[in-house]
Amino acid sequence: MKMKKWLTLMLSMTLLAGLAVGCGNKEETNTGTNGTTGKTAKEEIYFLNFKPEIAETYDKIAKDYEAETGVKVKVVTAASGTYEPTLKAEIAKSDAPTIFQINGPVGYQSWKDYTLDLKDTKLYSYLTDNSLAVKDGEGVYGIPYVVEGYGIIYNDAIMKKYFALADKAVPYASVAEVNTFDKLKAVVEDMTAKKDQLGIKGVFSSTSLGAGEQWRWQSHLANLPLFYEFKDNTSVKDPVQAGLQSNEITFKYGKNFQNIFDLYTNNSVTKKTLLGSKTVADSMAEFALGQSAMVQNGNWGWSQINGVDGNVVKAEDVKFMPIYTGVAGEEKQGLAIGTENYFAVNSKVSAEKQKASIAFLEWLFSSEKGKKYVSGELGFIAPFNTFKEEERPADPLAKEVSSWMSKGLNTVPWTFAAFPSEEFKNSFGSALLQYVQGGLQWADVEKAVIDSWKSEKAK
Amino acid sequence: MQKSIKKYFALFALPTILAFLIAFIIPFILGIYLSFTEFTTVNDAKWIGLKNYVRAFSNQEFLDALWFTVKFTIVSVITINVFAFLLGLLLTRGKKGTNLFRTIFFMPNLIGGIVLGYIWQLIINGVLIKFDLTLTSSATYGFWGLVVLMNWQLIGYMMIIYIAGIQNVPKDLMEAAQIDGANRFRILRSVTLPMVMPSITICLFLSLSNSFKLFDQNLALTAGAPAKETSMLALDIYNTFYGRTGWEGVGQAKAVVFFVLVALIALVQLVITRRKEVEN
């Protein structure tokens, strides 16, 4: 009996002690920050990072910045596909992110209570093109920090091998001549027929359709047909604005989407029915290992290609080609270039923290050290005038984006900034999955897209 | 003894009460309040009355998820308890290796839901790939995958509870029944079953509420694919709250409805099975 009594007493004591320690800790940190405010104003910046693939680099930047200025930068990275939930949870805390990201005008709508007007910051004045920023009336609430491009990445070594074949069925001699969907289709289908000769498993990497892995199709690929549809709306000049103003879409170029999507899935490394379990990382690995000749992705994919163990693709063989879908006049179409990454500063944290956050961003994009990180390790093509020509990133895909921009072609803007919601994209994505698995006809997919746009806009 | 318990009641109960308040009561009340409001984050709520509940119930996905959950719960509660009880019977016979088997069957319960989900995703996809299919090919695979997963995880746990119950059946009752000439099946039906009724109450309650609340296994195994056809209530609530801008309040309303449902079902089940319990 006595034992038992002692045991209960001890258990409750440890519990109480636990509570006490919990409180004690908090107090300690409080006095810690208070104690130093007198001298150097140690403000902590909380940076919520959107891109998991560069999380490590941000940690390094934070360490460097703290060493240089004494300001502590806390970097938290949301796992792939969970940025919005993470932001929603984090921003409600008392220690809220001071710098976060919004994904364009639609994202701004849901976070406008939290975004600070950045009109008077140096960061805004650094922008090469002020129209890129997210604005509302007179205020500037989101500042883009990276311009990215996507298209079809191809392995030039394999393509050269193919064009050198004696029995190839197409009259073209190089990728440069392939500038419409029909030509691309002829080449791809002939390559599939000769895949053993070329030593590949399929022309295209897997069309990843697992949950959270569909963004290359429901955002990036979907951008093309909808861009053409909004461009046809002559009453509004800017296709993104046209998209934002459309309460309904007709999915006029849905057939074009089907063209390229079918081409991807029919000539893929992976059988159609198995695509539901594939991830983006899988398809980048297939490309890096030389199992496929092409993959649709953006210049950010370079780090993934480069990081795969045993990768056989040489940097000089990694090239870009625009996504052709069979729209009239697409010979003049370039890569899809734009941004959905905008910095926003939390308007609800203390003025000191806001100031410190802005200072950090300005340091990152204008100091020598910061710029080195941005172009060297983050691989950002930053849209700021603080970067000189030779300070642009050196990775092959980023270079490709720059060279395609200077070819005088019509770049496709990132119209998906106007897509009504995540829900719209996700229902598009799951319709695509059911389509490749044979559960839906193409007409059903088109209907799902049109209906979902309408219902998401109506709410 | 009685006196000292009264004397130290506050000391012993206070930590628990505090923890209960902080971790349950306060968030719960706040949650109910939030279900009547419109908000982006919990700090800026605006009162809008019952609108969230109307939106929740006019949302087809919620009703689909509810139906899927009900189907899943019925199937898994039956299979889990039948298998667990049979295993319990088998492992109270004093056969060789009883303890080893008990341990083995209990072990899956020690692994977290997310890990279990991914393990079974690999296993099931590994089998289905032979037929050129994946878990996302049809909602049927997801459904049975979840049932298998849930069985695998919970059978061992329920088995332990049943074993405890079966071992508590008085030996003299069994002997008396045997002397009266009852066969094994008769003993099982008329002696063992009524005597282990308390265990059945607990096991039914645990498997029922766990199946209804299933979240991480669902997220890891299928994440609702294809097209949300395999998303259960908890996952649907999560997706509504975090995945859809402007729907946070609706997610909260769904969560309140969810709570009421789970509480109701569990209470009804408890009352029904309690009635069948006999005094030992």
pLDDT along chain A (459 residues), means of 10: 58 55 41 39 79 85 90 87 83 89 85 89 86 85 90 92 89 89 92 90 90 87 91 83 87 92 92 86 91 91 85 89 90 88 90 91 90 85 84 84 82 87 87 88 92 86
Distance from the B108 Cα atom to the nearest Cα atom in chain A, whole angstroms: 24
Residues of A with CB below 8 A from B136's CB?
A: 209-210, 276-277, 433, 437
Nearest CB partner across the interface for B227, out of A8, A15, A430: A430
Q: What pLDDT sits at residue A2?
A: 54
Q: What pLDDT sits at residue A12?
A: 60
Residues 19-48 of A with CB under 8 A from B: 19
Nearest CB partner across the interface for A271, out of B132, B226, B244: B132
Q: What is the residue whose two structure tokens read 């829900």? A: A423
Q: B190 in helix, strand or coil?
A: helix
Torsion of CA A180, A215, A252, A437, to 10 degrees: 90
Q: What percent of chain B has pLDDT over 90?
A: 25
A424 near A451, Cβ under 8 Å? no
- The span from the CA of A70 to the CA of A37, in Å, is 12
Amino acid (1-letter code) at residue B8? Y
Question: Which of A282, A319, A287, A321 is closest to A305 using CA atoms?
Answer: A287
Distant-in-sequence, close-in-space partners of B70: CB < 8 Å, separation ≥ 6: none
Q: How far is CA A413 from CA A54, A106, B88, B197, in A?
A: 24, 16, 65, 67
Question: Which of A338, A347, A355 is closest to A41 using CA atoms?
Answer: A355
What is the phi/psi pair of residue A291, to 5°?
A: -80, -20
Average pLDDT value for chain B: 87
Amino acid (1-letter code) at residue B78? I
- The span from the CA of B228 to the CA of B244, in Å, is 14
Q: What pLDDT sits at residue A293?
A: 93
Residues B210-254 have pLDDT tens digits of 898 889 898 888 888 777 888 899 999 988 888 777 788 898 999
- Count, residues in chain A: 459
Amino acid (1-letter code) at residue A455? S
Best mutation site among A82, A423, A428 for testing chain B: the one with the most B CBs within 10 Å? A423
Q: What is the pTM of this model?
A: 0.77
Nearest CB partner across the interface for B242, out of A88, A111, A210: A88
Question: Which of A106, A121, A53, A109 is closest to A345 using CA atoms?
Answer: A121
Tokens of B22: 């902080």
- The span from the CA of A359 to the CA of A12, in Å, is 49
Q: What pLDDT sits at residue A16?
A: 55
Question: Which of A130, A135, A87 is closest to A111 using CA atoms?
Answer: A87
- Taking CA–CA distances from B224, the nearest residue in chain A reads A211
CB contact under 8 A, A92 and B41: yes
Residues 59-98 of A with CB under 8 A from B: 84-85, 88-89, 91-92
Distance from the B36 Cα atom to the nearest Cα atom in chain A, whole angstroms: 18
Predicted-complex ipTM score: 0.74
Residues of A with CB below 8 A from B245's CB?
A: 84, 109-110, 421-422
Q: What pLDDT sits at residue B269?
A: 86
CB contact under 8 A, B40 and A276: no
